Amino acid sequence: MKEKSKQGFTLIELLAVIVILAVIALIATPLIMNVINDAKKSTARDAGYSVIKAGELKAATEGIESVNPPFHYDEGSNLPMKGTKPTKFTLDIDKEMKTQLRAWINGYCVVKDYDTEEVTIDESKTTEKKCVKGNNGIEEPEIADGLIPVTFDSEGKTVKADVDSDWYDYNNKRWANAVAVTNESRNKYKSASAGTEIAESDILAYYVWIPRYKYQLWNVEGNTSTPQEIKIEFESKSTPKSTGTKNGEWLTHPAFTFGSTELSGLWVGKFEMTGTASSPTIKPNVSSLRSLNISSFFNTIKSMGNNYGLSSYDSHMMKNSEWGAVAYLSHSKYGKNSEVFLNNRSLYTTGCGADSVSEGNTSTCKNAYGSKGNGTYNQSTTGNITGVFDMSGGAWEFVMANSANQDGSFNTADSGFTSAPDSKYYDKYDYNTNRENNSISKLGDAMKEVYVSSAKHWNGDYGYIAYSSSPWIKRGGEYIHDTRAGVFSSGNYTGSGYVSNSARAVLVND
C-alpha cells in the first residue's frame, strides 16, 4: 500500500496564523491591561477607605480626650491603617465628622470630598504633588496666563520653576513665587524649560503666594499680648470655613473671602510698589513708588491686571486684612516666626535690610536683595529670599481700610475718592474718634490681637488706628522709625499723597 505523503503548513498559512494571533493580541492586551488597572484602582480605593476609617477612629479617640474638631491628618500622623498605605495624604474631618481625602496610593490620586460618600480616582492628577497639592493641605498656587512660576538659584537669580518638583516647601519656609514679564518676552518664558533664567530686565512684577489657612484665636478681646507662634493650618477653599469667635477656637482667615468668592490664596506683591503711576512695577533694589494719594494708588494697581497680561486675576491694592494674613503667616512655623528686620535705607530702596533687629536708619543698603544669593534675608517674612520684603520699614504702606463717618458712610477725607469703591476692595471700620482705640480692630488684621499697651503692638511696633479726621490705615512703619516700625506696626493718615507713603499690590483669582 502506498504511504500517504506528509504535508506541512505553507508559508501563506503560517503568515495567516501569525496575523490572527497578532489581531487577538491587539484585542486582548488592552482588555487584560484594563483588568489589571481596574484591580489596582480598586486596591487604591479600598486603601482610601482604610485611611478614612483610621482617621475617624483617631478623631473619635481625640474627641474623648477633649480635642475639638476639625481634625487634620497626614502621613506623619501615625494613623492605625491596614493594608496598602499611601505614600502621601491629607485627611480632614470637620465638626460634623464629614471627611475630605487626598491620597497618593500605588500611582493613583485617591480623593473624597466632604459632600460625597464614595472614594474615587482623580485621573487628572498624575503626580503625587498635584494630587496632594503641596504640603500640609496647601492648595496648589493658581497660575493663570500672565504669571510665570519661579524659584531662585544659588546666586539668587530668578529662574523658571518646575511646578511638579521643587517650586515651594512651606514646611521649610520656602514660599511659592511668580513673576509677571513684558509682553514681548511672555511667550518665550511660558514655553521655556524649568531652570531657565528670567532676565531682570524682562520682569515687571514679583509676587508671593499666601495659601489659604485658618488660625487659632488667642486674643479675641484685644488684651495685653506677648509675641508667640501663631498656630496655622492650611486648608482647601472647599473645606467648610472655621468660624471661631473665642480664644482657642479656629478661624478661617477673613482675607481669603473676597466679596462672595472663597479664595485658595493670595498673590501678594513681593516688594512695595515701584515704577511710576503710568508704568507701575514691583521690583527690588529700586526706589519705591510714593507720593500718590490712595485713590491714585488704587487705580494704578488696578491697571496692572489688563496692562501686564494679568487679566485672569483681579489686581487690587492690598487691604488691611490681607496685610494681616501675610503678617500672621510670617509669625507661624511656616514663616520667620521672629521679628522681621527693618528696611532701614533712607532712599526707600526696596528689598534692603538692616544688620540687626535694632539697627537704625542709614544711607546705605546693608543687605540688598539678591546680595546673599538664596541665603539668609532677615528683612523677609521667611528669613530667606522666597518671602515678602519691605513689610518692616522702607515706606509706610497705605492699605484699603477706612474708618466710617458717624452716620456709617464712607469717609473719603483726602484720599481722592469721591465715593466708596466696591466693598470687596476695602475693609470698613466703625466710626472712631481715638487713634489708640484698638477695639474697632477686626480679627485677622494684626492689630488688636497683637496689642501690648497703649499705641504699641508686638515687638514695640506702632499701634495706632484710623479715626475720624485721619480715617485711613497704613502699615509697616518708615525706615526712620527704627524699632517702632515692623510687620505689626500700624498708623493712620488722611489719605493724601506724601513722600513717605507707598502701597502694595495683590492678585486674586476672583
Within a domain: residue 5?
no
* Same domain flag for 116 and 181: no
Domain end marker among 132, 162, 191: 132
Task: Give the C-alpha separation, 211 to 417, whole Å.
Answer: 31
Segment 27-50 shows an average pLDDT of 82
Q: Does residue 65 sit within a domain? A: yes
pLDDT above 70 coverage of the chain, percent: 95
Mean pLDDT of 152-174: 92
Poorest-pLDDT segment among 271-275, 379-383, 435-439: 435-439
Task: Note whether 70 and 173 are same-domain residues.
Answer: no
- pLDDT tens-digit profile of 61-70? 876 655 667 7
Do residues 101 and 172 share a domain? no
In a domain, 14, yes or no: no
pTM of the model: 0.82
Nine-digit cell string for 461 = 511696633
> In the predicted model, is pLDDT for residue 121 greater than 50?
yes
Report how far residue 205's alpha carbon sits from residue 286's, in angstroms, rounded to the nearest whole number: 12
Task: Give the DSSP letter string of 46-90.
Answer: HHHHHHHHHHHHHHHHHHHTTPPSPEEEETTS-----SS--SEEE
Confidence of residue 1 (pLDDT cuts 50, 70, 90): very low
CA 256 to chain centre: 10
Same domain, yes or no: 392 and 456: yes
With left for phi above 0 and alpha for psi between -120 and 50, is residue 445 left, alpha or beta?
alpha
* 188 shares a domain with 90: no
Q: Are residues 487 and 431 in the same domain?
A: yes
pLDDT band (50, 70, 90) for residue 5? low
Domain boundary among 78, 110, 132: 132
Residue percentage of the chain with pLDDT more than 90:
72
Q: Using CA atoms, how far apart are residues 74 and 52, in angstroms rounded to an integer?
A: 11
**Nearest of 339, 342, 363, 364 to residue 353 by alpha carbon:** 342
Do the domain assignments include residue 15?
no
Q: Which of 95, 113, 132 is the last residue of a domain?
A: 132
Q: For residue 16, what pLDDT is reported?
A: 85
Same domain, 282 and 170: yes
- In a domain, residue 504? The reply is yes
Lowest mean pLDDT among 107-116, 170-179, 190-199, 215-224: 107-116
Tens of pLDDT, residues 349-365: 999 999 998 899 999 99
pLDDT of residue 68: 67
Same domain, 218 and 268: yes
pLDDT value of residue 367: 96
- Comparison of pLDDT for 85 and 220, the residue scoring more: 220
Within this chain, do residues 103 and 233 fall inside the same structural domain, yes or no?
A: no
Q: Let me know: does 435 contact 466? Beta carbons within 8 Å.
A: yes
The predicted structure's pLDDT at residue 84: 87
Across residues 76-93, what is the average pLDDT?
87
User: Do 71 and 159 have their domain in common?
Assistant: no
β-strand 501-502 against 396-403: which pairing, if any? parallel
Rounded mean pLDDT, 11-34: 80
Mean pLDDT of 140-145: 85
pLDDT at residue 431 in the model:
97
Q: Return mean pLDDT, the chain.
A: 92
pLDDT of residue 238: 82
pLDDT at residue 92, as a whole number? 85
Look at residue 38 in the predicted model and tell me its pLDDT: 79
Is 452 a domain residue? yes
Residue 80: CB atoms within 10 Å: 11
233 within a domain of the structure (yes/no): yes
Q: With 90 as the cut, is the pLDDT of residue 123 above it?
A: no
CA angle, residues 204, 344, 386, in degrees to nearest 5: 45
In a domain, residue 8? The reply is no
**Structural domain of 86:** 22-132
pLDDT of residue 294: 98
Nearest to 360 by CA among 463, 480, 502, 196: 480
The total number of structural domains in the chain stands at 2
The mean per-residue pLDDT over the stretch 307-314 comes to: 91
Q: Which residues pair with 214 in a beta bridge?
A: 233, 252
Same domain membership, residue 409 and residue 348: yes
CB of 253 closer than 8 Å to CB of 214: yes
State mean pLDDT over 371-383.
96
- Shared domain for 127 and 145, answered yes or no, is no
